[in-house]
Structure 1
């Protein structure tokens, strides 16, 4: 079973997005889009959408989705993946700040009208519409007719408050969902979110109490956590008493602070019964390559 994962696409007129053809060449079973599928704002115009009228906000967001979904390579890849949408493959994902509202937006800072427009457009274009206010859900993972495990997608924006030790990130209902999903699954577990945990200073650890609650839920579980956001790739082995690898692929088509230049970052997770092979690519080719032993959950960097 092969999962391609990527995030952060800031479409600019006249610029191609060759990363999608590169992903297609790996012939993945699943495509996970992990946030910032569009950019409502980008430097030096950060946070401008918070001042827009609601109708204008919705119009701009709809156009940005339309433009990105019509990029030839992306459109072809998504269409080919959706031909088998379901347990055997397909396109899944969640959002982060720039496709939720604006840079670093928390749910508590965004009015109901903008939040509902954002969610409706995400559901329309991603064709994912969970029966909850936010965007948390799961999907089974299978290959060749055999159930392997499940992917759990979390929402780190809709319910969130501004960072603080006792402030909300996921919220009680989402924690109950996550707890039940983990209890019901004995196989391979991938947890996905737009906001990284340890790979950035702007991650989950700013929410001390909820981060501790999350760590307690995954204690002793073999988990691979996939995320985006930071405009670069990263592979972080388990820390402390957890058995969770954090893997980031960010920058499918975006610049790094408008200095480093265009990214073509993506990841490939290739699961077999014995090992999980994780490769992270940039525009020059293979950047990180790690193999995890599924029995011991030890890893080797190649």
Structure 2
């Protein structure tokens, strides 16, 4: 083989390797450790947005959308697109986009239908609009994937964070109701088998030191009548059992949807530390204060506009994450130390 042909072959092989799609993560930045993550949900594109300046001031390394990123509720993709564009043009959010990595997942209103699941007929088209909103490149494997779930790795080994965002809409079975009230459906599923297998791969032998696992609906709170993982108890137990089996370091759950904020905690056999679900909702509107039972709740319920914030304390032994529910004018409504 001539030298020029050999060099051309090497160059072609290298370029092909560079073009090989990433199938396990949507993004990866393994150089610099991250210490702060902010997250939130329920942002109506027509309402005032007083929290963006507070969030920008925190200088988070990553911002995570947890669903209801717009209130679309339509089978018209033109309608959803216009609402996403309005949200994206918000000056405060535009400032955050310039300074912070943005990732996210959807819930029902941005998916396209209230309380919807796999029965929504425009889910494929809607997924592309979500990825447009999140600035996912046109050639990213997420563009061809069924479902909007993704994983993102940040930081070097020893200070590595993996964010796993679960799609609780695209594959979810319809809710079971009685007298228009949600009731548990042990035979129903949330993630779909392809996403379950993907999740197990993400958790098995992961070298991350902190695993942030997000979904639009609450994982742990199980006493209320609204949407939750508990509507599908077999799926909820499968998730907890998977965490106990794979034993990821530093797992924390995050969720939105509820138009209030709270912290829930449970113990998972085999996990070795308490599992928390930090619920943050909403960015533009919240429910009126009320009593609501949650036997797993730690601390108060917050009925103020809010966002979630994590500080990862890498120098502490054992590793500690400080979770906060923050609000307007730099308010902090709740602080929870999570130790692993």
TM-score w.r.t. length of structure 2: 0.73
For residue 135 of structure 1, the aligned residue among 148, 156, 159 is 148
The alpha-carbon deviation at position 148 of structure 1 amounts to 1.4
Q: Which has the larger radius of gyration?
A: 2
Equivalent in the alignment of 2:114? 103
SS at match of 1:150: strand
The alpha-carbon deviation at position 212 of structure 1 amounts to 1.6
Structure 2 distance, partners of 1:162, 1:16, is: 33
Runs of 5+ consecutive residues of structure 2 not aligned to the other structure? 1-34, 176-184, 291-302
Equivalent in the alignment of 1:289? 335
SS at match of 2:195: helix
The alpha-carbon deviation at position 79 of structure 1 amounts to 2.2
Q: 1:247 to 1:258 in 2, by over 3 A?
A: closer
Structure 2 distance, partners of 1:263, 1:291, is: 21
Q: Deviations over 1:44-67 (max 9, x none)?
A: xxxxx3xxxx5xx11110110011
Structure 1 distance, partners of 2:259, 2:161, is: 29
| Structure 1 runs (4+) greater than 3 angstroms displaced | 239-243
The alpha-carbon deviation at position 239 of structure 1 amounts to 3.8
Equivalent in the alignment of 2:6? none
Between stretches 223-232 and 198-207, larger displacement belongs to: 198-207
Runs of 5+ consecutive residues of structure 1 not aligned to the other structure? 42-48, 82-89, 298-302
Structure 2 distance, partners of 1:270, 1:29, is: 10
- Is 1:6 matched with 2:45? no
Partners of 1:6 and 1:266 within 8 A in 2: yes
Number of corresponding residues: 265
The alpha-carbon deviation at position 194 of structure 1 amounts to 0.9
Between stretches 20-29 and 250-259, larger displacement belongs to: 250-259
Structure 2 distance, partners of 1:30, 1:79, is: 12
Equivalent in the alignment of 1:168? 189
Structure 2 distance, partners of 1:280, 1:263, is: 10
The alpha-carbon deviation at position 159 of structure 1 amounts to 0.4
Structural RMSD (CA) = 2.2
Partners of 1:249 and 1:265 within 8 A in 2: yes
- Is 1:91 matched with 2:102? yes
Equivalent in the alignment of 1:87? none
TM-score w.r.t. length of structure 1: 0.81
- Is 1:180 matched with 2:204? no
Q: Deviations over 1:190-223 (max 9, x none)?
A: 1011111123542111112211211110015441
Structure 2 distance, partners of 1:267, 1:191, is: 14
The alpha-carbon deviation at position 122 of structure 1 amounts to 0.5
Partners of 2:254 and 2:279 within 8 A in 1: yes
Equivalent in the alignment of 1:29? 61
Q: 1:142 to 1:240 in 2, by over 3 A?
A: closer
The alpha-carbon deviation at position 264 of structure 1 amounts to 2.6
The alpha-carbon deviation at position 257 of structure 1 amounts to 6.5
SS at match of 1:238: strand
Equivalent in the alignment of 1:237? 265
- Is 1:19 matched with 2:64? no
Structure 2 distance, partners of 1:217, 1:17, is: 38
Partners of 1:149 and 1:185 within 8 A in 2: no
Q: 1:258 to 1:71 in 2, by over 3 A?
A: farther
Partners of 2:215 and 2:255 within 8 A in 1: yes
